[in-house]
Amino acid sequence: MTARLPTQSDTRRWLAYGLGRLAARLARRRAEAELRAMDERELRDLALDRGGIVYVVQRGRER
């Protein structure tokens, strides 16, 4: 059996997937940087502390 060559739509799908993941990662990094720039009072207003920043950025808030 011979290997199937990727089609143009396969390449586009792969590229769109990769770019989507990259955009999401950059958005998480930007959100983390924004939260880390806040002082303790601002974080407390959001019911956060410094130790919870990474968790909130990666997983979101508990409901």
What per-residue confidence (pLDDT) applies to 56? 95
pTM, full prediction: 0.75
Domain ranges of the chain: 26-63
**Tell me, what's the pLDDT at 6?**
79
What is the structure's pLDDT at 1? 64
Q: Which residues of 23-49 are buried (b: 16+ CB within 10 A; e: fewer)?
A: eeeeeeeeeeeebeeeeeeebeeeebe
pLDDT in tens, 2-29: 788 778 899 999 999 999 999 999 999 9
Does 63 score more than 60 pLDDT? no
